[in-house]
Amino acid sequence: MVTNDEASADGNDTQATSSVPYSVFSRFQVRVIVAICAVAGFFSPFSAFTYFPALDYMAQDLGVSLQLMNITITTFLLVQGVIPALLGDIADQIGRRPVYILVLFVYSMACLGLAVQTSYGALLALRMIQSAGSSGKYRRPRTQPPTISYHTSI
């Protein structure tokens, strides 16, 4: 790697690297992006952990058995396992930002629908949609490049 001093001595400024971190985002924008991603990453566990204690009450309210309510958990986990593989390929083609915005929108709409639903069928369908929205932002970390990167000289 060529440092600034060596590049200046050689007269070749095109390969000079800066020791100052670089990003197209300002520090404030980076903090906002990180905060949004942190909050969005909170949704999936939040959806599961707030749902479990309410199963008995929801079963009584909807007039269904606890076994049927357990199916909503199974389908939630099944969809949560499949959707990242599908949306990962889409994100590779159109970009992560549109997919990320889409799944946050889907998650929000599913939550609103769950708040007003009154039937078991709607609960089951909306829980699957909620799962797609809460898990669609995850991919295999090994193949995913960083969202925000700083380029520095080593």
The residue extents of the domains of the chain are 40-135
Confidence of residue 17 (pLDDT cuts 50, 70, 90): low
Mean pLDDT of the 9-22 span = 56
Residue whose C-alpha is closest to residue 51's, from 34, 78, 72: 72
Spatial contact of 148 and 25, defined as CB atoms under 8 Å apart: yes
Sign of CA dihedral 61, 62, 67, 72: negative
Mean pLDDT of the 55-80 span = 93
Q: Which residue has the higher pLDDT, 97 or 32?
A: 32
Indicate whether this model's pTM tops 0.75: no
- Phi, psi angle pair for 51, to nearest 5°: -85, -40
